[in-house]
Structure 1
Amino acid sequence: MTQPPKDSLLEATILAQAEAVGPEKSICPSEVARALAPEDWRPLMTATRRAAMRLQAAGRIAILRKGKPVTAEDVRGVIRLRIIP
């Protein structure tokens, strides 16, 4: 990937994937990064996590750690993203 995707594309992809699995399931941020850059997805992980935090602050998604919602301050390590119905 020559340029990183715009924040709006990251957010739209997170929402689309989370909506596709529904509120009972969650997605991994790496799924979003891989959808946008299948061959070079790792550099997108920080931007993807930041986009998820913006969506959480807007009340659109929940960020989960060990299956439980966490605040932006507690986001570290492995997380999952779930749409809020």
Structure 2
Amino acid sequence: MTIVTIHKAKMELSKLLARVEAGEEIVIARGEEPIAKLVPFELQKKPVRGYGRFAHLRDKIPTDLFLQPMSENELDAWEGKYSFPGDNGE
């Protein structure tokens, strides 16, 4: 671990950052007193999401559910047959 003064850190920041990128830790001191440490930044990996709210249904829903044709009742509902007057712009 290298210790540098604030003045030297100001003058050579680019060089110090290159050394930090290479894995070195650098302490910045005011006179003899250490006040900060430059360390490599580690990106946090996003955790892998587990199964959500509907995981319990995974094996119970048929895989072709959304490929099946709609019944007459479902088609009528999509077309607004069961809507209240005024709800669909009338």
TM-score when normalising by structure 1: 0.27
Q: Whose radius of gyration is greater, 1 or 2? A: 2
Q: Work out which structure has the larger RCO, using CA pairs closer than 8 Å and 6 or more positions apart in sequence.
A: 1
Higher helix proportion: 1
TM-score when normalising by structure 2: 0.25
